[in-house]
Structures are given as structure tokens and as C-alpha cells.
A and B are shown apart, each in its own frame.
Chain A
Amino acid sequence: MLLGLLETGFPLFYWGNALMIVIGLGFIYLAIAKKMEPLLLVPIGFGMILVNLPLGGMMDYEMTLKAPQAGIVMEVPMHEGDAFEKGGVIYKLDTGEVTAPVFGRVDSLKVSQGQSVEKGQPLASLITMEQTNQAEVPTHPVGLFSRIFKFGVMWQILPPLMFLCLGALTDFGPMLANPKTMLLGAAAQFGVYLAFFLALIVGFSMTEAASIGIIGGAEGPTTIYVTSLLAPHIIGATAVACYSYMALVPIILPPVIRLLTTKEERGIYMKPSLRKVSKLEKILFPLITTIVVILIVPSSAPLIGCFMVGNLFNECGVTERLNKTAQTTFIDIITIFLTLAIGASMPAQIFLQSRTLLILILGVISFASAAAAGVILAKIMNLFLKEKINPMIGAAGVSAVPMSARVVQVMGQKENKQNFLLMHAMGPNVAGAIGAAIAGGVFLGILG
């Protein structure tokens, strides 16, 4: 009876797993009952549930524990199947302890008490769910999701491909019609750098701080891409912060906008008919942007390059099949892989740490200050512009396409029913997406 119980997941199941399963169920509830980002929250929530069922093995990585120095094995405190914390003692040698560099469980022990070992000799095979720096702690994936995660996310394949699909779905027309709105998208990147410095102040490393700052870029793929390269161990937290706050844009943006604008400013009327952007402009834009941006910030090449080729599919008029696939089937396939893998990167042992809460707090600061910077720049621009712009459109520079532009539209019409800010807000909105990719490239160029 007891032996049978040992083969189930129960002995390794702890309150943290239960809490993560409740959070995963909460995501699925929000998606189904409240229609909040269902295409993201259903698979992320399900991935979270799956990875918190012990011994399921979905996110398992195998690693070999090697002897850090020669010695004689004095004691083996662990047994096969035992779970251990990061830093847990696996072997005691006469020359010192051999500790686990990750959390996990013992798969097999290769030496026993009384045996002498050489430096570098394999001592045990361990199983972990932790993303590690491969140069320091090499692991190899043995679970379905860990394989998808390694070859899809860590090899930086899925996020840029997601960007390709988003490029196909993006219309740069409103931005090209009114190029000064590009500045608002650039201003919103202030939030990225503010959160970066705040994260440094509260004790995160440079690479972690960059990954946290980029949350304010409000682009899921950019956040995942940057974090996977710079700080893979916090990827679950940064991805969840980014996607959650994108879903919460209708709650985060309005108070920031109201705080920084007067009722009169929110009521500023903007003429609806934007300049008609020619087909040639729309074709030249992705080509010129690719060449100029990548020459200036080479590390942004995977994101900007994919974003722009997707956009060219959409605008050139002769690749309708590719465009249609990128906008529909392909983005769905990438979404399934990416979101399940992200959900699966959140086992309780990694996610339920005080630093996750800090990341979530810094993330919302990054978001809010990005929106604030856009609004403030719009107000400054109004000091010089003859035809005033509604400062609320600056908040759409936070990206989260097209959610933040929609929020601006709703708030604008509340003040003045004849005002249609949606297309005006789309300018800073798509500029913000480019800005976030460039900000990510800058971090990678400096820290990568």
C-alpha cells in the first residue's frame, strides 16, 4: 500500500503546487467567464497546472552532478526519488559537501558510502525544473514542455516568429499618416528604463533588471525574448507580468491618464480624417525601418527583422497566402507552443518566491510610467503645436496593441462624443511596439 503511494505524485505535492494550481484555474476562469485574453490565459493556466503536478515530468531537465574535488564519500544523505532544495547536500565527502546547484529530485545515485571519487566524476543524476545558465549548470530537457521551452524559447525561435505574425497583423498607416506620434511611442520606453534602474536599486542583477524593465514595453514576445537571453530563471514571472498587465491595460491606464490630464485636455478634439497613406509608403516603411534600425541596434535584428518581414507580407500585395497564414494558422500554432511553455515555466518552487512579487510590482510601475511618459511628452508637444493633440494618445505609446488605443478611444468619447481617437492612438501604439523591440535590442547589445 505504502509502496504504491510512493509511486504517485502525492509525496512530492506541497502547498505551493496547490496554490499554483489555484492560480492556473483562476487564469482559466478569467478567460472563460470574463473573456480576458482567452487565447493566452487558457494555455498559460493549463501549463501552470500541468507543471505543478509532481512527477508528471513535463518540464523536467536532467543534469549530472559531478564531484567538485577528489575525496572519499563519508555519507549519502539522499535516496533516489528524494526531493531537495537548491543548496541541499547530496553527498558528504571527507574533503567537503557536494550540494545541488538547483532544486529538484534525485534520479539516480552513482557512488555509495566509502567509495573514493575523482574530481569531475559523475556522482548522481538529478532532475530539476529550473532554467539554468547552461555555461554554469548544463542540463538537458527530458520532458515535453522542457523540450519545447529549450528549443522554442531558449533557442529564441518562437518569440521572433510571433513577432513576424504580429507584423502581418499591424497596420502602420496611422503612424505614417502622422509621424510625430512616433515620438510618443519612443517616450513610453522611459518606463522600461525607470523600472530597470528601480530593479537595480532593490537588488536585482543587471540582466534581471533589464528583463524586468522590458515588461513596460508591453510586448509579450519581446519580454520573453529578452528574458530568455539575459535571465532565463525569471522568465515565468516576467512573461506573466507582461501578459497580465496587457490584459489589465483598461484598469491601469485610466488612473494614470486622469492623474496627468485635465478634463479640458482629455476633451481636445482631433480631426478624424487622417492623411491617406499610399501603398508605396507602406511597402517602403518595413524595408527602410529594417535597414536603418538594425544598422543602429544590431541586436534588435531578430525581432525587428521578423516584425518587418511580416508587415511586408501584409502590405506588398503579392504574398496574400503568406500573409493570411501568418495572421491566422501560424500565429495560432506559435501561440500554443509559446503560451504552454510559459505556463510550464512556473513550477511553485520557482514562482512562489518573494522576488516574483517584486517583479510583478516593478512590472506595473514600468507599465504605468511608460504610459505617463507618453502623456507628458504629448503635453509638452502641445506647447509647440498649432493643432493640439489629445495628450491621452501618448498613453497608447505603451504598446499592448491595440488594447491601449482602445482605452484611449473610450476615454476620449466619454469627454466628447464626437471625438474619435482610435486611429490617432494607433500611431503611438504601433510605434511603441517598435520602440520596445529596440529597447530590448539595446539591452541585449549592452548586456547580452
Chain B
Amino acid sequence: MSVEISAPMPGSIVGILVKVGDEVKENDELITLEAMKMENPIFAPSDGMVKEIRVKEKDSVEAGQLLIVME
């Protein structure tokens, strides 16, 4: 089953800490999203494998925009 992780708020991507194929544990940091001049870590909601990364560093994202698909 795949899990979609989307941006919780508008901002820009300042760090991608995983790559496709990585195994991650629940609450591992996946992406750093800068919003309101603050770096916000986005964590894995569950254990799994990174299947797709839909953004790259310095991308501006909207709230709700898909960032990562996990399996």
C-alpha cells in the first residue's frame, strides 16, 4: 500500500534527506520545508520505503502538494 506525503503548508524545500529506494522508519525525517523563515522537518508517518520523490531542493510548494510517495 502506498502512502502519500504532502506539504502541510506553503513553503520551499530546503533539504531532501532520503532518496528513492531508501528504507525509512516511522518519524524519520524525510524533507525539510522552510515556511515563515522556519525550517520544518517533515517526518515519515510510518515505516516503509521511499517510492517516489516529487520535488527537488529549492522548489516552492503549495499546501497539500504531493512531496513523497512511500510504500
Contact = CB atoms under 8 A, between A and B. Distances in A.
Interface of A: 272-274, 276, 402, 405-406, 409, 413, 417-418, 420, 422-423, 426
Interface of B: 6, 8-9, 27, 35-38, 40-41, 43, 45, 63-64
Most buried by A among B6, B35, B43: B35
Nearest to B62: A276
B36 A274 contact: no
Most buried by B among A402, A409, A420: A420
21 contacts: A272-B6, A272-B8, A272-B63, A272-B64, A273-B6, A273-B64, A274-B9, A274-B63, A405-B36, A406-B38, A409-B38, A413-B40, A413-B41, A417-B41, A420-B9, A420-B40, A422-B35, A422-B40, A423-B9, A423-B63, A426-B36
Given A413-B41, A417-B27, A418-B45, A272 B36 contact: no
Contact of B43 (A272, A274, A418): A418
Nearest to A177: B63
Nearest to B45: A418
A418 B46 CA distance: 10
Given A406-B36, A418-B43, A423-B8, 10 more contacts: A272-B9, A273-B6, A273-B63, A409-B40, A413-B41, A420-B40, A422-B35, A422-B36, A422-B40, A426-B36
Q: Interface SS of chain B: helix, strand, loop or mixed?
A: loop
Most buried by A among B27, B36, B40, B45: B36
B43 A417 contact: yes
Contacts of A402: 36-38
A413 B8 CA distance: 13
Nearest to B63: A273
A405 B35 CA distance: 11
Nearest to B7: A272
Nearest to B43: A417
Contacts of B9: 272, 274, 420, 422-423
B41 A420 contact: no
Nearest to B36: A402
A320 B45 CA distance: 40
Contacts of B63: 272-274, 276, 423
5 closest cross-chain pairs (CB), A and B: A272-B8, A420-B8, A417-B43, A423-B9, A273-B64
A423 B9 CA distance: 7
Nearest to B33: A420
A273 B64 CA distance: 6
A420 to B, nearest CB: 4
A402 B38 CA distance: 10
Contacts of B43: 417-418
B42 to A, nearest CB: 8
Contacts of B27: 417
A402 B9 CA distance: 15
Contacts of A426: 36
A422 B8 CA distance: 9
